[in-house]
Amino acid sequence: MSMSTYRKALRLAQKDRKTTAAGILPILEECKLDLAYREPLGVIDIPMDLIVGTLTEARAISFSPNFFPLMEENSEFALKWAALSEAHLQEGIRDPIKAIEYLGRYYVIEGNKRVSVLKFYGAVSIPGTVTRYVPKRTVETEPYYEYLDFYRATGINYLLFDRVGGYADLLKALSREPGTPWNADDLQAFRNLYFMFREAYIRQGGDPERAAESLLVYLDVFDYQESLRKLPHELDSDLARLRPELLNREKGAGVALLTEDTAKVPLLHFSGDVRVAFVHDRTAHESAWVYAHELGRRDLEAALEIETRSYEGIASPEAAAVAFQDAVNSGTNVIFVTSPQLWQAGVKAAVAYPQVKFLNCSLGMSYPSVRTYYARTYEAQYLLGAVAGALTANDRINYIADAPIYGTTADINAFSLGARFVNPRAAILLEWSQVRGTGSRNRLSDAGVTYIGEMDRLSPYDARTRQPGLYLAGQSHNIAIPLCRWGEIYVKIVRRILDGSWKNDTRGASAVNYWWGLNSGAVNIVLSRRIPQGTRQLADLLRDALCSGRLAPFAGELTAQGGQKLRFEGAPTPRELATMGWLAENVEGSIPGFEELTDSGRELTSIQGIGRGI
């Protein structure tokens, strides 16, 4: 019996060796480690799937990369392995192994065969006397130092993130404060959920190495406290519905930014094909942002002769869930959510109602179940910068931005490059309205020309405050404004549904983001008649050049702050534009850190800040 078991394990090892490049167990070479210190942990439970290697070459060649035995069947090694297997079945393996923990993984000093036998039988953990080897702190080891903080607060060693911010994301999903100790009940409840989730995830073909990241995706959609009460078959059902989101993370597919509208205007359409609803977090009366989207909704009704529904003042996830259910019960099959802050509620609803198409007005959200859309405004900002550069009397231009979210830095840089195009001496004085204590939105400098670039996503509507646009010193009305034509975007998206382009927009496991700009008619600028005729003609010429592709604001060699040289062949990719993290050399100011922002600014940047990446 025991030797037949060894033969099975040997076959697994031989197959494992063929499918792995190294073919043998990894070796931890102590002499090559740059350590800060060593720390004895005593006897702890070691997760079996995190035991990845050994310390000596002699042991390494005896095992495949998954710790299955490689020695011939008639060897002394095989006899000992088989006897240990028999002992495990009769009595169980209880003696602790000895191991080193390095970067969250474990390397065996003594007890390699015990690990091999228990791996063969699918054990979850094994007791071991462990010494932790802590590397010196660098950019590369920063995720491990976050692991150490998490481990010291919780004692949890079976869940690893290999990126910065993973543990913070987990604690946020669990509604726990960093550094707060967990009691025994908390630890047991989380452990039960994690391993039940992991088993269900692997059953459905998931990569065990991605289990921790996939749990975050799951907890983004399903409430943690509710999930603690779920049974295995319920997790299976949840994961099946969540498969597009999980596949997106597994493949690192991110977001596909679609910058061109290729859908044709249909000769005929049937209004019965789509029933559309809009969900806003505020009302059109209190928010210029919602008012603009409501105008877009009316444009959609007029252009395609369809009826739509509108839900205003939906300020919480709970209220959103009620609105979504009401819309679906009323026969709605397309729902536009105009608030980025309601993205999570939208993903939950999209998973619950797969027959409905959900879209969120945001940029760079990597959840395939909910497509996103946004106006690409950097080209319009280039035009406004050119106008400001022509009008400034002292080469100084104020620029008041909102918060450092996707696309904002590209807007600032495009504005500065447009200003410098017509005025080589133009300097941009950058401020942020969502930095605490600034109050910059209501203040116009005597510098001469000020541009307010925010779009009223975060500030309540107030007719007394300065609205987005270009201002001259001493004047209370703006003389140039960027125009986001949301109606154009809504008409184009619904037409894509009608003509079948919606299906063709799918990009594998990537989430789809419609990011349309000047050449699609989704964005434009409006200039006052008070602007000199020559400047208006210049803006028209530049607009035509941008739309035709003859002019690209970021093409060629550019200089960033500090003299850094940047070169783009043609133009930056949509991803590079959306996540741009540098400022042009003629910009005076900086990108604020998260801790400098107001509460509303933090809320938005935590969802789609440029530092998150796409």
Q: In the structure, what pLDDT confidence band is assigned to residue 445 with cuts at 50, 70 and 90?
A: low
Helix orientation angle between 533-548 and 378-391, rounded to the nearest 10 degrees: 150
pLDDT for residue 425? 96
Q: What is the pLDDT of residues 148-188, one digit of tens each?
A: 999 999 999 999 999 999 999 999 999 999 888 899 999 99
Q: Are 295 and 338 in contact (CB under 8 A)?
A: no
Coil, strand or helix at 359: strand
Q: What is the pLDDT of residue 456?
A: 53
Of 203, 222, 252, at which residue does a domain stop? 252
Q: Is residue 158 one of the residues assigned to a domain?
A: no
Interval 541-560: pLDDT, tens:
999 999 998 999 998 889 99
Above 90 in pLDDT, residue 568?
A: no
Instruction: Please determine, for residue 100, whether its predicted confidence score (pLDDT) is greater than 90.
Output: yes
Higher per-residue pLDDT: 449 or 35? 35
Rounded mean pLDDT of 293-319? 95
Mean per-residue pLDDT of the chain = 90
Residue 597 is given by DSSP the state B
pLDDT digits (tens, 9 = 90+) for 207-261: 888 999 999 999 989 999 999 999 999 999 999 999 999 999 888 888 999 988 8
Structure token digits, residue 317: 């996830």
- The answer to whether residue 308 sits within a structural domain is yes
State the residue range of the domain holding 574.
378-483+521-612
Name the least confident of 56-60, 75-79, 143-147, 449-453. 449-453
Task: Indicate the pairing of strand 105-110 with strand 97-102.
Answer: antiparallel
Q: Which of 17-26, 143-152, 390-399, 445-454 has the lowest mean pLDDT?
A: 445-454
Same structural domain for residues 580 and 465?
yes
pLDDT for res 472: 86
Q: What is the pLDDT of residue 537?
A: 96
321 and 461 co-located in one domain:
no
Inter-residue contact 528 to 480 (CB < 8 Å):
yes
150 within some domain: no
> Rounded to 5 degrees, what are φ and ψ at 562?
80, 5
Quote the pLDDT of residue 426. Answer: 95
- Residues 244, 300 within the same domain: no
Q: How many CB atoms lie within 10 A of CB 11?
A: 11
The answer to the question of residue 148 being in a domain is no
Task: Tell which of 115, 136, 157 closes a domain.
Answer: 136
**Percent of the chain surpassing pLDDT 90:** 69
Residue 17 has pLDDT above 60, yes or no: yes
Residue 411 maps to a domain: yes
Is 384 in contact with 480 (CB distance < 8 Å)?
yes
Tell me the average pLDDT across 130-147: 96
Residue 444 has pLDDT above 80, yes or no: no
Tokens of 352: 């619950």
Q: Can you give the pLDDT at residue 547? A: 93
- Residue 147: inside a domain: no
Model pTM? 0.83
491-528 tens-digit pLDDT: 999 999 998 889 999 989 999 999 999 999 999 999 99
Alpha-carbon dihedral 594, 595, 600, 604, rounded to 10 degrees: 20
Six-digit token string for 154: 């919780």
Same structural domain for residues 429 and 577? yes
User: pLDDT tens digits for 180-209?
Assistant: 889 999 999 999 999 999 999 999 989 888
Percent of the chain topping pLDDT 70: 94
* Pairing status of strand 523-527 against strand 556-559: unpaired
Does the pLDDT at position 285 exceed 50?
Answer: yes
Report, as an integer, the average pLDDT of 31-37.
91
Are residues 228 and 333 part of one domain? no
Of 457, 571, 575, 455, the C-alpha closest to 511 is 575
Whether 470 and 503 share a structural domain: no
Specify the pLDDT at position 443.
Answer: 53
Q: How many CB atoms lie within 10 A of CB 418?
A: 28
Question: Does pLDDT of 460 surpass 60?
Answer: no
CATH of the domain at 573: 3.40.50.2300
CA 285 to chain centre: 32
- For residues 436 and 551, state if they share a domain: yes
**If you average pLDDT over residues 453-458, what whole number do you get?**
57
What does each C-alpha distance from 393 to 387, 448, 468, 542 come to in angstroms?
A: 12, 7, 21, 22
- pLDDT > 90? residue 373: yes
Strand order in the sheet with 396-401: 523-527, 480-484, 469-472, 449-452, 396-401, 427-432, 587-588
305 φψ region: left (φ > 0), alpha (ψ -120 to 50), beta (else)? left
Order of all β-strands in the sheet with 511-516? 255-258, 511-516, 370-375, 357-361, 334-337, 276-279, 308-311
Q: Are 84 and 208 part of one and the same domain?
A: no
Same domain (yes/no): 6, 132: yes
Q: Has residue 294 been placed in a domain? A: yes
Show the 3-state SS of 182-229: CCHHHHHHHHHHHHHHHHHHHHCCCCHHHHHHHHHHHHHHCCHHHHCC
Q: Which of 19-33, 322-336, 344-358 has the lowest mean pLDDT?
A: 19-33
**Judgement on whether residues 261 and 227 belong to the same structural domain of the protein:** no
**Amino acid, res. 325:** Q
At residue 21, the pLDDT reads 65
How many structural domains comprise the chain? 4
Whether 412 maps to a domain, the answer reads: yes
Under the banding of pLDDT at 50, 70 and 90, the label for residue 30 is confident
**Shared-domain flag, residues 322 and 458:** no
- Which pLDDT belongs to residue 20? 74
Same domain, 426 and 330: no
pLDDT at residue 109 in the model: 96
- Answer with the one of 85, 117, 136 that is the final residue of a domain: 136
Q: What is the mean pLDDT of residues 449-453?
A: 79
